[in-house]
């Protein structure tokens, strides 16, 4: 019998992605999926070439490219970020194979086995997967509608001496919360005081349906190092896998070398298509159409939830993003309900999976996506899901 190969010690920490596993199951015929953050095909823009567009099919762009990204895209990313309040040079931008790659690079940059790293509780599941793979001790900070508590943040920094903090301040995944302007400033002051590096993740920034403050915390920092992550997977086409980061000058060279060691460069034709879109006047109409489409879907989901979950759960109407975060009035573990739901052709994300392993288990939460299903399937799927929860209430 051949002996088992000896693998790295980190493989013992490697977990599968629950989101990806559910998405695979959600492809089954007849499945109504509220699980992943899948954009709606009807909301995605029809990309148009203009006389000023770069030819993305040119043989030049079929060869190897620069690890940093196409110069034309990096220049337009700097302009795009300036519209968000981020004053950065093109040389501070790095094009990624989706913003998930940026999380991976940040994990490689900051994390050794046992490294304390701060995050929200709950937080993005795939970020936990990446940080914990490299051995991070992820410490979760409770979320309110306004964000995390700056005073608690300072106390935790004093106590645990973390190496960095990972935040999703704008339409947070999974909760949908958007940090207030006052909270953003207060957090920036704390991070500057301790010179604690910030990893700020904003994949949902452009999906705004109500007027809220979206000032990047990175733009408020004066002393702390920072990494700002963005993506075009939610505004253009996710299959291209084009994301980006911008970073403070002290971190950028390390991130570039890590990308060089990882995938050499991001796909070049996709980069040129994104650069062309950023330069065209139609992008403002495209974004307006995207927001209006999702606003209607959000409102349809809220109406359907009111009719099906009104007596079972509490939730806030998200001002942006792609998700509702439900807190069940009976705090049951929703993970066992997933198998039952899938057997009834409904997929959802159990909320327990979004909490760091180092904290106390938090039961009775669910993340529901509203961008993918149509209104008829929404009502049907939520009715089924509500019935499953009713049938599995704990005995009082």
Secondary structure in 3-state letters for 24-56: HHCCCCCCEECCCCCCCHHHCCCCCCCCCCCCC
Quick check: 89 pLDDT over 60? Answer: yes
- The confidence score (pLDDT) of residue 14 equals 64
More confident of the two residues 168 and 8:
168
* pLDDT per position as a tens digit, 112-131: 999 999 999 999 999 999 99
The 3-state DSSP class for residue 196 equals coil
- The confidence score (pLDDT) of residue 6 equals 75
* pLDDT per position as a tens digit, 21-70: 676 666 778 889 998 877 877 778 777 666 556 665 565 667 888 899 99
Task: At 338, list the tokens.
Answer: 């997933």
**pTM recorded for the entire structure:** 0.92
* Bond preceding residue 174 cis, omega within 30 of 0: yes
- The confidence score (pLDDT) of residue 150 equals 97
* pLDDT per position as a tens digit, 349-365: 999 999 998 777 789 99
Per-residue pLDDT band at 269 (split at 50, 70, 90): confident
Give the least confident one: 180-189, 231-240, 294-303: 231-240
Pairing of strands 165-167, 116-121: parallel
* pLDDT per position as a tens digit, 306-321: 999 999 999 999 999 9
**Which domains are seen in the chain, by residue range?**
9-45+284-391 (3.90.1150.10), 63-279 (3.40.640.10)
Quick check: 396 pLDDT over 50? Answer: no
């Amino acid at each position: 019998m051949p002996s088992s190969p000896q693998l790295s010690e980190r493989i013992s920490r490697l977990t599968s992605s629950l989101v990806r596993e559910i998405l695979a199951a959600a492809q089954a015929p007849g499945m109504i999926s509220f699980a992943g953050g899948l954009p709606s095909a009807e909301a995605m823009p029809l990309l148009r070439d203009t006389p000023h567009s770069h030819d993305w099919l040119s043989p030049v762009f079929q060869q190897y490219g620069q690890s940093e990204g196409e110069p034309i895209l990096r220049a337009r990313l700097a302009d795009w970020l300036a519209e968000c309040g981020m004053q950065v040079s093109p040389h501070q931008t790095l094009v990624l194979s989706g913003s998930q790659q940026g999380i991976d690079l940040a994990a490689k940059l900051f994390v050794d086995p046992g490294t304390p790293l701060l995050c929200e509780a709950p937080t993005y599941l795939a970020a936990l997967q990446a940080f914990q793979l490299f051995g991070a001790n992820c410490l979760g900070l409770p979320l309110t509608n306004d964000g995390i508590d700056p005073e608690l943040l300072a106390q935790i920094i004093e106590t645990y001496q973390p190496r960095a903090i990972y935040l999703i301040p704008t339409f947070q995944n999974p909760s949908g919360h958007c940090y207030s302007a006052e909270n953003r400033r207060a957090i920036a002051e704390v991070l500057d005081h301790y010179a604690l590096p910030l990893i700020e993740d904003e994949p949902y920034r452009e999906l705004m349906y109500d007027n809220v403050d979206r000032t990047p915390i990175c733009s408020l920092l004066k002393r702390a190092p920072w990494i700002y992550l963005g993506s075009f997977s939610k505004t253009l086409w996710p299959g291209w896998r084009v994301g980006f980061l911008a970073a403070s000058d002290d971190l950028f060279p390390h991130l570039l070398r890590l990308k060089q060691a990882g995938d050499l460069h991001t796909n070049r034709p996709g980069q040129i298509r994104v650069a062309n879109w950023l330069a065209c006047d139609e992008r403002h109409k495209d974004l307006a159409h995207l927001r209006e489409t999702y606003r209607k879907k959000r409102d349809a989901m809220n109406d359907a939830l009111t009719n099906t979950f009104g007596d079972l759960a509490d939730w806030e109407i998200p001002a942006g993003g792609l998700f509702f975060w439900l807190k069940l009035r009976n705090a049951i573990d929703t993970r066992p309900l997933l198998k039952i739901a899938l057997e009834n052709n409904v997929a959802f994300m159990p909320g327990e999976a979004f909490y760091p392993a180092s904290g106390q288990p938090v039961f009775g939460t669910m993340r529901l996506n509203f961008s993918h299903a149509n209104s008829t399937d929404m009502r049907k799927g939520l009715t089924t899901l509500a019935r499953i929860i009713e049938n599995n209430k704990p005995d009082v």
